[in-house]
Amino acid sequence: MALAALKNLTRLAEVAAVLTRHGFADLVERLELPGRHQAPAEEAPGEKHPLWARIRRVAEDLGPTFVKLGQLMSQRPDLLPVELVLELRKLQDQVAPESREVIVATVERALDRPLAEVFGEFSPEPLASASLAQVHRARRLDDGRAVAVKVRRPGIVKMVEADLALLAGLAKGLHQRVEQLKPYNLPGLVKEIASHLRQEMDFLLEARHMVTARAHLGPRPPVDIPAPHFDLSAPNLLTMDLVVGVRLERAGLEQAERAALAKELAGVILRQVLKDGFFHADPHPGNILVRTGLERPRLALLDWGLVGRLTPRMRYLVGDLLMTMVERDATEMVRLLYAMGAAPSGADQAGLIQDVEDLLDQVHSRPLSEIDSGQVILRVMEIMRAHRLQAQVQYALLDKALLEMEGVARELDPGFDPVEVAKPFVRGLWLERWRPDVMARSLRRHLHDGLELLKNLPQRLDLILGQLERGEMGFEFKHRGLVPLTKAIEDSSNRVTVGLIVAALIVGSSMIITTGVEPKIFGLPALGLVGYLISGVVGLWLVWSILKSGGGKF
């Protein structure tokens, strides 16, 4: 057996042991994982921990890849139960750091130069250590600038790809064998999460994200975003300006300072979403530092590996959705939700409107300043999941970004009012839509699309007619309401045909009887008697079938 296959079997056996230890032995049996009979089960796991907590513990025990995957899965409350989403957001991404020798060797290979030719200083102790990378303080040798060097863990890409392949197989097996999990489309979810994870492991892509975000903020940014150093960066290495700061809980700020920072953070994220269409998709407290010792405290946004992008149309839909929530228009809100997600066939639109109306009743039962918009967003996503309305990926990233932003803002300022902060951005978005240049651009685009359609229409019609002439295309008409009528007509035609056959048999038999031809039975021609017998049996069957189907009721 190949070495890769042996490693895969070993990892599968480890997965089986972890699942069984946390009370998921039934899944192990259904998936027929290797080593399932040897894995020891934890006593009464359901009594010790709830279901969602056990899923989180499984991810923690399976290591960094599954922890990161769990964190990314927590971005999809429209696909997963809200309780599971909240539990997965508790996953911590802190692991033991690599040794200095390993990190130095990785940096030297990435830059193709000895470390001493690049950095005058390089701290052996990391500033932070996560599952995919760790960050070290350093100083450039050429100009003496203090920098932070983010180094991808050696071998992590190969390990992540192996675990992703393994997870894709498990997701496919669960989707096929566990009926209750089919609505969650686990294979599709794993594919989406895998794409995000691969993006996060490309540090040059993260550097470009940082440049874009800094450009949108302008010359006087309200928050700090480190500038990348492309000459000392590679796909597995990111060198950037060093941001010296502390985490929110250690900043020791006055209440007025905390309230100001809450508004600044919310303003930056809402500007990115509603104006720029390019936003930090994971602004949780671990990715935010407070810079103290300045004229006034400032926030710094770190870790730009995962970002969201919204087209102008998507931004307008988001703005309209916020307006409909404030204006309490359930029908329009449902229309927007359908525009933002993929609706299944046979969707219950009336039921969706009723659920949205109930939500708006709850929202408007209290003053707008007291609304917990994070909980409202979660509730909207829960309604979408209940009606199998799957949001596009960018909207899911947006929901998570807004939830994280509000959580941090309320941690800074319990009296934070998200509606008040959002008002000028929503108003600006509405005004932007009706600016002459935007309207002219939209009109030009629609005109171009219309002209392209007219230009290509003759060619497309000629192609369709040619396929029809060659018999390569056909049409099938089916109407559910006409199916019973069609069946009734077919049944009636069959009975008329049988009736005509019976009548013909009777007439023919009568003519044979009058001829007196041999042979005879009881002095009558045998052929005529047989005809009477057959017509009698068929006639009785026809009468019986008509009566059985209700056709004999007058």
Q: Which residues are catalytic?
A: 282
Contact 95, 129 (CB under 8 A): yes
Termini Cα distance of the chain? 77
Alpha helices in 201-273 (DSSP H): 203-217, 255-271
Measured CA to CA, the distance from residue 533 to residue 528 in angstroms comes to: 9
Contact 114, 108 (CB under 8 A): yes
Measured CA to CA, the distance from residue 193 to residue 189 in angstroms comes to: 6
Both structure tokens of 324: 């409909």
Q: Residue 534 half-sphere exposure, CB side, CA atoms within 13 Å? A: 15
Both structure tokens of 223: 């928050």
Q: At what angle do helices 393-412 and 373-386 cross, to 10 degrees?
A: 150
Can you count the helices (H) and strands (E) in the chain?
A: 20, 12
Phi then psi for residue 173, to 5 deg, are -65, -45
Alpha carbon separation from 545 to 91, 111, 486, 493, 541 (Å, rounded): 68, 88, 18, 14, 6
Rounded CA Rg of the chain: 35
Interacting residues of 155 by C-beta distance below 8 A, sequence separation 6+: none
The DSSP bridge pattern shows strands 524-525 and 520-521 to be antiparallel
**Nearest to 194, CA basis, from 37, 66, 346:** 66
Measured CA to CA, the distance from residue 27 to residue 47 in angstroms comes to: 18
Measured CA to CA, the distance from residue 270 to residue 319 in angstroms comes to: 11
| Residues forming a β-bridge with 129 | 134
What is the residue-wise DSSP string for 136-185? EEEEETTT--EEEEEEEPTTHHHHHHHHHHHHHHHHHHHHHH-GGGGGG-
| Strand, helix or coil for residue 314 | helix
Q: What is the largest CA-CA distance in the chain?
A: 129
| Residues forming a β-bridge with 391 | 341
Neighbouring CB atoms inside 10 A of 549's CB total 12
| Strand, helix or coil for residue 118 | coil
Indicate if the alpha-carbon torsion angle 153, 400, 413, 276 is positive or negative: positive
Both structure tokens of 282: 């994971």
Neighbouring CB atoms inside 10 A of 124's CB total 12
The DSSP bridge pattern shows strands 520-521 and 133-140 to be unpaired
Measured CA to CA, the distance from residue 89 to residue 283 in angstroms comes to: 13
